[in-house]
Structure 1
Amino acid sequence: MIKRLKLLLAAVMSVHAAQAWAEVSQEIDMKVQNRNQKTFLGAPSANPTEYGEIPNGLILERYSVEFDTTNYMFEFNATNVGLNNQNLNMEGGKAGKMTWEIGYDKMPHLFSNEARSPFRYAGNDTMKLDGAWRNASMQSSFNTNVSSALSGAPYVPLGFDIESANVDLRFHPGKDFMVEFGSLRRTRRGTKAQEASFGFSNAIELAAPVDWETHEAYLDMQLAKKEYQLAFNYRLSDFNNNIPNLFWDNPKRNSDNYASSNQYSAGDSSAKGALANAPDNRAHAFKLEGGAALPMNGRFSFEGGYQRWTANSQMLPYTINTGMNTGNAVAAAAGLTFNAFDPANRPSETVDGRIDVYTYLFKLTSRPLSWLKSSLTHDAYIMENKSTQYDVPGWAVFDQVWHSENARTPREQFREDKTALKLDYEITSWLSGDLDLSHKYEKKTREIPKSKEDTISAGFLIRPSKDLFMNMSYLMSGRRGNGMDISEYPTVLSTVTNRTYFTEHPGLRRIDVADRNRNTARMQVQWAPGEVNVSFSARLTEDKYRLGKGDPTGGDPFVYPGLFGITSDITKSVGLDFSLPVIGNTVVNGYYSYDVGTRYLKSSQTSGAGNSATGYSLPGENPGSTSIMLGDPRSVWENRMRDQSHIAGLSMTWLPLAKLKTMLGYDITSTIQNLDTMYAGRLASTATDPYNSFPTSKRMLQTLRAAGEYKMTASLTLAANYAYEKFDATDFAYSNVALRDASNASIFLGVNPIRNYYAHTVGTGMKYRF
């Protein structure tokens, strides 16, 4: 590798052999490392990090070379050469005239090295089941045989690599004019966890293949005069998904059929499943911006942009199940009048998607007085959906049964306008402040179509001495919607009581549209006398969510008229770090941070619903999921979710000799998560089925490290290092994940990403500059 890099350097330098003078420098960092990791209880080895690998053997951490001549410069840098997280970068040119840059980067993302699945990717967008899985007797007694069949499921990789390469050129045709353009290619290949299903009670988790390719290009032009400035830029992004669709075998059936009511739930009808992956798409973005000086130390700035996003991918048929045909009497009785599996009956051969985005910004700044600066800004983001809308006579439900209903595909649209006023003022030489006022208006295709938010914030910067400063701020905002639009909420007409009721509770409000009151306080203190440096920070944010305007019951007295979902979200954090020189060329550094987030969540009973005799569900209705949607007050429960983290570290650097540097450090990261029941209605928690809190989840990573460097000569430095890691975790959500729960027909990847381990790492290396 080093020999090749030297040949590359020689080739570049030969181009400029006519130069009379050149200064050349090269630097290399190499080390030999051995890592010995043990996982407790004999479990498969765990990789402690998703990104990058922790290899053994010879590692070329960094190699760099640069040279300068009177008219040219060149620099090359390489890190982690030959590993799966390597980076290469090369640039050169003449500053102020023309410069160029070429880069390559590779970054892995490992989810798990112990996923297991009976599905095999067979190409052509298809996940196959082999062997006993396609045996009719296996499928006829699926629940009995599935566990033994899964015991032989092979390990499959679960992760992908991202590789990118870029080329950039910058020119200066004139003193005030600059042109820059470039391109980038990025690929993502590997596997990821993909959820799938057959029927609404059978989940399947696939190690689905990923093969994405993105090409980007840009053009920037800037004109910078003393009186005014102008800039134009264009961006192109072209995304290609080489696996546009995904099909997979049904482990419970190898021939198509139209579902009975039981099969609709059990998923015993379609022999295959299908879904459309992320479609190929293209985006063009144009932006023009500029500014000009005004009297009274003022300035006017503007920005206007236009983007067009398009997607034109193949449309899948209504279903992959050939049992949904006009020859099936049950399907015909459900209203099916054509062969739903036939591509010829699609509303269109392709999905024609198009979105136009308009953005603009105007900003006026002024300093009318020496102690006062003001700015007024208005900006807008407008997303107009111009995708083709398709009329459909119904749809296939889980590829099992047909649902007849005339519908049109919707268009999601969005608009945001924001006006802000900011004042910065200096009260005295040691005290200054700022005041911000803003008003934001949003319009979106959601259950709350319009909202506004008003925000006020104020801050002070106090500097009583040159070594000490304090920064404090407070923000208060309120977001309000114009009322609920419940016209699009799904409803069902009762055949028993002839009543219409919701099948989704309107009170289940997402936090990005619910009314909200927000309060945020922040403080930062820094003290730096001489070589001592101490800083402290604290932050508090409290969000309170409200139901807001509108009636979520639709006039139905059996619908709970309250807010479900997240009702409160509070985050607190404090941090301290310091650097203290002590005797004997020794410096002690330390840091500590504490973060805690507390959320309150309210919902209604989600299982075991219903006894019509008690009025728990609609009078006259069969017991069941109606009570879930109605949200009977006796079934409401409220949980408190708390996430806490402690991160701390202490290190000491000692220089006993001018050429010797040593370091000893200890770091610890601890996280704790609790989910506790604060309230449970009497129907949500009974003596035979109590509503219990989840077990506490804990994770802790401790690292002890020691390192030393000795400068042998002006060009050569030798180094050695040792690290000990210990990871402990108790997390019920990620431990003992089975391939299959014995109580149902779901199949999972069986990934256990949380493994307790300890590891010793020893390394020695060198830095050489030549």
Structure 2
Amino acid sequence: MKRRPSGKFLRASVGASAGALATLALGMPAQAAGTSVVELTEPASTVEAGVGSVSRSSFKFGEYNGLQDRGPFAIGNLDLRGGGRYDSDDTSRWAIQGRDLGLDTRSLSLDYGKQGRFRFGIGYDELRRNYSDSYQTPYLGVGSSNFVLPANWLKPLVPQVSGSALNYRSLSTIEGTASAVNGAGLVRPPTSAQLTTLSRIFDADTPAFRAVDLSTKRRTFGTSFGFSFDPQWELLASWRRDHKDGLRAQGAINDALNGNSAVILPTLVDETTDQYNLSMRFTGERGFAQLAYYGSLYDNKVDAIRWADPNDPTTSATMSSAPSNQFHQLSLSGGYHLTRSTQLVISGAYGRNTQNDAFLSDPSLPLGIPRGSLDGRVITKSFTLKLTSRPESRLSLGAGFKFDERDNQTPVDRYIFQDVNEPASATASPFNAALGLAPNTLGNNINIFNNRAHSRKDLKLDFDADFALTRANSIAAGYGFERILRHCESTWIECENATDSKENTLRLEWRSRISEGLNSRVGYSNSQRSSKYDPNAWLALVPMANVIPGAPVVGASTSVYGYLQQTGLTGWGPIAGYPATPLTGNAAIFSPNNNIVPQSLYGSRDNLAELPGMRRFNVADRSRDTLRASLAWEASERLSFQAGADWNRDDYSRSVYGLQRAASWALNFDANLILSDSFTTGLFFSHENLSSRNAGDGYGSNTNAAFVGRAGNTLVSGGCFATVLLKNRNGKIDPCLNWAADHVEEADTLGVSLRDAGLMSGKLDVAASLVLSWVRTHVGVAGGSYANNPFALSGAPVLPAGDPAVLFIPAADMPEAVNRSFELHLDGLYRLAKSSSLRLSYGFKHLSSSDYLYDGLRFGSQTTVMPTAEQAPGYSVHVFGISYVFTFH
């Protein structure tokens, strides 16, 4: 059967196949058809050396295969094998293998051992991952963890729009110099002074942007050792070190004062992971046992990144990197044949995961940090039992039990901080007194958070049966049960949305040999997951939700949590518009005008309240259906066909908001034809479809504002309400602000291959393959949002009669993203002599891509996100290769 890429979609797999095209792997035999006794009884060794050439540079083409640079590259592969002769008492074996030695994907390994006694191995390999060669940044310090802006950097702004607000559209001579509506409601081009300001900004900032290649390289070195004391006892040990370094893009927020402005930084990668394995195995006549240790030590040399704020380069922000950590685990497993047809396998493991890197401190932290490090500790335990039996020849039975526990013992503490570069508000926090602080120590824009230590227990039961109805037909059935218990240690309230969830699964499969050479299989499964959902679990993050707010809040007799308990509400508040009569008491404080609970009353700068009916998909009630079918037909000794179909559907019927459904289906077909003993051909095709629907609510706030700008500006165009007053009084429950997004992704792949291994009296082998791929992504959006008429200003005349002050703008579908690729491989191997061959190879790949996401990265496209000028990938690349292959025994 023709092997073809698998997975949800073929972007990555089809792209990665370009590596096989040009690395010139030893895929064809170098021996002649006639073989001697030596060739049949002694291992063959092969050495390949040559040169190849890439027609043009492309990071995307060379994303994983090391062929990103234009020009020549070395071809180097070897497979050396030796040891004792088959007719001697020497049982030693050794092998030295190397692949892609001239590229950034090289690997080299050495193995030596004596059969039944010991074996030893050592290896090294590399893998380069290319991200982007069109990325640009103005930051200095690339290659370090500290980024600064040039000394002449000027804050980007568009003065005809605002003389102070950050606006990266000034970096484009087109968008930056566009006309704007002034305070009097008149459209005016920028003045001479404003053009001068724009010119100064453009001349100072745009030359600072320079290209930076983003890529990482992983280097792996490892050793392994095995020793057999006797046929029953064996010791195994291995060590592996992975070191990754390079640059990759990372987004970061600058501040909360300029629309949460953001930058995309070329962050440094310098990390090492060491993995250790040690085990002792016993194998007896009726059973086996193993005691094993596994250790993983992750060390990140980059503790944090620091960058200057483009709003004010004299200020900077700091963000920590992934902390170093360790994981150690002991496991014990064993199996025993209770009878000739019944086997029991049991395994258990105990692990300890720790992380204790020092916290970063910052002068902006008003009270410092509660502890110097996290002192993170997670204990893992697992136990598995599997019983299989074949009580009679036609019946097989299986039962399994699995228990996994993740016990998070990390201490819980209170962390008090401002948002990035945001000064404390002049209005005091209502929790200064409760925290034992002097008045005005904390502003009401402070974050007072607790970390949360998430723990879980997972219990699974599985039962399976397989019964042969006839010699040609069999049926299999199964039942699975899973229960997950989630909780948090040391939080003032339970932090999990679903503390207890259960899932039941039924499986059924039919297998049939319809006729000689024709086999089919159909399988179906259905699972039902249910849980009790708590929409107020977010309160565990904000301990002040359980504290009655004090001054400057007046009149509160309970806390946020107490109010929600009394009223049965969530933090989103009542499902209601502006109240007909003013609210009083706690309702006026915690649900002002029937709006959501104010952030300052639970010590947060984020709205943490969930929409009524919102469910997180990983714990939401779900119905899952899966259908699989396949058909294989051996039409003759030379012709065979295979076809398959997969269908999956997840239905979240109780989720009003969030993920509501997800589905996928796929069809695949392949055929193989043997035209002669040496000539074979294959054809495959696949179609894959993935879809999902998400829903949300872009709700606003209830107000009693009746106009926009001037008293006469009262009309609304479109939407669900005709006047500004009605729209504002129903701002929180406006049905026109509900939205839905339908995501559909489709991929078609067609491939054909040819191979002839017997041309020119057996001296020439040729192979060719062609792969076409077409991937489409479509996002349909329903809903919309309101926008004020830009001429509805307080300093402008009242709008003409009938002109709307507010316009409802319906949502539009996203542009379709399309990737098309064409890939051709041609290989030939000509035998110059019995032990030497010449290999010629050619490959071509074309990729065209249209992706609207890249439009937001160009200069002038966004206001508060620094552009990177990255472009959608596209290329047409030719690869040529010629190499000499020497084979010997």
Which TM-score tier does this pair reach, normalised by the shorter chain?
0.7 to 0.9
* Pick aligned residue for 2:521 from 457, 468, 471: 471
**CA deviation after TM superposition for structure 1 residue 108, in Å:** 0.6
**Residues of 1 paired with 2:693 and 2:594: CA distance?**
37
The partner residue of 1:65 within 80, 84, 101 is 80
Which of residues 354, 359, 372 is equivalent to 2:377? 354
Q: Does the C-alpha gap of structure 1 residues 604 and 496 become closer, same or farther in structure 2, counting only changes over 3 Å?
A: closer
Contact 1:65 1:75 in 2 (8 A): yes
Question: Does structure 1 residue 546 correspond to structure 2 residue 565?
Answer: no
- Name the SS of the counterpart of 1:314 in structure 2: coil
- Report the Cα distance in structure 1 between the residues aligned to 2:840 and 2:887, rounded to whole angstroms: 18
CA distance in 2, matches of 1:279, 1:585: 56
2:499 equivalent to 1:381: no
Residue 831 of structure 2 is aligned to residue 711 of structure 1: yes
Are the structure 2 counterparts of residues 177 and 466 from structure 1 closer, same or farther at C-alpha, using a change threshold of 3 Å?
farther
In 1, the alpha carbon distance for the partners of 2:501 and 2:720 equals 35
Structure 1 residue runs without a partner (length 5+)? 1-21, 39-44, 256-270, 325-338, 548-561
Q: Give the AA of the match of 1:395.
A: F
Mapped pair 1:120 → 2:140: yes
Q: Residues 634 and 684 of structure 1 are in contact (CA less than 8 Å); yes or no, is this contact kept in structure 2?
A: no
Amino acid at match of 2:355: A
Corresponding residue for 1:5?
A: none
Is the Cα–Cα contact under 8 Å of residues 741 and 779 in structure 2 kept in the other structure? yes
Do structure 1's residue 680 and structure 2's residue 783 form an aligned pair? yes
Task: Find the aligned partners of 1:501 and 1:204 in 2 and give their Cα distance.
Answer: 31
Q: Is the 8 A contact 2:53 2:72 kept in 1?
A: yes
Q: CA deviation at 1:466?
A: 4.5
Alignment partner, residue 757 of structure 1: 875
Q: What is the match of residue 589 of structure 1?
A: 682
Q: Specify the alignment match of 1:100 in structure 2.
A: 120
- Answering whether residue 418 of structure 2 is matched by residue 396 of structure 1, we say yes
| Cross-structure match for 2:298 | 239
Q: Describe the shift of the 1:634–1:683 C-alpha distance in structure 2 as closer, same or farther (beyond 3 A).
A: farther
Q: Does the residue aligned with 2:332 lie in a helix, a strand or coil?
A: strand
Q: Aligned match of 1:218 in 255, 269, 277?
A: 277
Q: Which residue of 1 aligns with 2:857?
A: 737
Cα deviation digits, residues 119-159 of structure 1 (max 9, x gap):
23377732222321389999978645655403431212212
Q: Deviations over 1:703-761 (max 9, x none)?
A: 2333322222221122222233222222211357215645x232143322x23322233
Whether 2:757 is the aligned partner of 1:651: answer: no
Q: Which residue number in structure 2 is paired with residue 14 of structure 1? A: none
Does residue 81 of the first structure (1) align with residue 101 of the second (2)?
A: yes
2:610 aligns to what?
505
1:31-76 CA-to-partner distances (Å, cap 9, x unmatched) read: 32222238xxxxxx55324213226435234112111122422110
Residue identity opposite 1:546 in structure 2: S
CA deviation profile, 1:59-103 (whole Å, cap 9, x unmatched): 234112111122422110111113211001110010210100000
TM-superposed CA distance for 1:683, in Å, is 6.2
Measure the CA separation in 1 of the matches of 2:597 and 2:615: 18
* Counterpart for residue 625 of structure 2: 519
How far, CA to CA, are the matches of 1:137 and 1:476 in structure 2? 57
CA distance in 2, matches of 1:287, 1:588: 48
Give yes or no for the alignment of 1:53 onto 2:66: yes
Which residue, out of 126, 131, 153, partners 1:133?
153
- Note if 1:638 corresponds to 2:740: yes
1:48 partner amino acid? F
CA shift digits 1:483-503 (9 cap, x unpaired): 324253574855844865483
What residue in structure 1 maps to residue 227 of structure 2?
A: 171
Residue number in structure 2 paired with 1:3: none
One-letter identity of the residue aligned with 1:673: T
Alpha-carbon shift at residue 513 of structure 1 (Å): 1.2
Matched residue type, 2:750: A
CA contact (8 A) 2:469 2:475 kept: yes
Deviation of 1:585 after TM superposition, in Å, equals 5.0
Distance in 2 (CA, whole Å) between partners of 1:283 and 1:33 is 44
How high is the sequence identity, in percent, across the aligned residues?
19
Aligned-partner Cα distance in 2 for 1:624–1:127: 44
Measure, in 2, the Cα distance between the counterparts of 1:405 and 1:755.
Answer: 41
Residue 768 (str. 1) matches residue 886 (str. 2): yes
Deviation digits for residues 257-313 of structure 1 (CA, Å, limit 9, x no counterpart): xxxxxxxxxxxxxx1111111111000011101122224722222111111000001
- Quick one: structure 1 residues 154 and 305, their matched pair in 2 at CA, closer, same or farther if it must change by over 3 Å? same
Cα distance in structure 1, aligned partners of 2:526 and 2:156: 65
CA distances 1:442-498 after superposition (whole Å, capped 9, x unpaired)? 122531222110000111221234422111100111111123242535748558448
Paired position in structure 1 for 2:56:
37
Q: Which has the higher contact order (CA 8 A, sep 6+)?
A: 2
Moved more, 507-516 or 131-140: 131-140
Give the deviation of 1:539 after TM superposition. 0.4
Deviation at 1:244, TM superposition (A): 1.1
Instruction: Give the superposition deviation at 1:254.
Output: 4.1
Instruction: Give the deviation of 1:163 after TM superposition.
Output: 0.5
Does residue 209 (structure 1) correspond to residue 268 (structure 2)? The answer is yes
Cα shift readout 1:352-407 (whole Å, capped 9, x = no counterpart): 10000110012222222221111111101110110122134x32122314445654
Is 1:429 matched up with 2:548?
A: no
What CA deviation, in whole Å up to 9, does each residue of 1:206-237 have, x standing for no partner?
Answer: 11101101111110111011122111110111
Asked if structure 1 preserves the Cα contact closer than 8 Å seen for 2:418 and 2:447, the reply is: no
Q: 1:537 aligns with which of 644, 650, 653?
A: 644
CA gap of 1:745–1:432, structure 2 versus 1, over 3 A, is same
CA distance in 1 between counterparts of 2:827 and 2:459 reads 54
Which deviates the most, 366-375 or 497-506? 497-506
State the SS of the aligned residue for 1:634. Answer: helix
Measure how far apart 1:408 and its partner are.
3.0
Query: Residue 134 of structure 2 aligns to a residue in which SS?
Result: strand
Cα offsets for 1:2-36 (capped at 9, x unmatched): xxxxxxxxxxxxxxxxxxxx968531123322222
Task: Tell me how far apart the structure 2 counterparts of residues 600 and 684 of structure 1 sit (CA, whole Å).
Answer: 26
| In the alignment, structure 1 residue 671 sits paired with structure 2 residue 775 | yes
Would you say 1:155 and 2:211 are equivalent positions?
Answer: yes
The 1:763/1:254 distance shift into structure 2, 3 A limit, reads closer
**What secondary structure does 2:153 align onto?**
helix
- Establish whether residue 366 from structure 1 lines up as the match of residue 378 from structure 2: no
Deviation at 1:350, TM superposition (A): 1.6
Figure out how many residues of one structure are paired with residues of the other and give that number: 685
Q: 2:662 aligns with which of 569, 572, 591?
A: 569
**Which amino acid is 1:659 matched to?**
K
> 1-side partners of 2:467 and 2:693: how far apart?
40
* Residue equivalent to 2:17: none
Q: Is this contact kept in 2: 1:605–1:684, CA < 8 A?
A: no
**Structure 2 residue ranges without an equivalent (≥5):** 1-40, 85-89, 168-197, 425-444, 488-495, 543-570, 573-588, 599-606, 707-718, 789-805
RMSD, matched Cα: 3.2
CA distance, structure 2, for counterparts of residue 243 and residue 586 of structure 1 = 55
Aligned AA for 1:159?
A: S
Q: Deviation of residue 426 (structure 1)? A: 1.1
Contact 2:73 2:103 in 1 (8 A): no
Contact 2:638/2:675 (<8 A) preserved: no
Question: Which letter does structure 2 place at the counterpart of 1:570?
Answer: A
| SS of corresponding position for 2:229 | strand
Distance apart, 1:583 and its partner CA = 6.2
Question: What is the CA-CA distance between 1:584 and the residue it aligns to?
Answer: 9.0
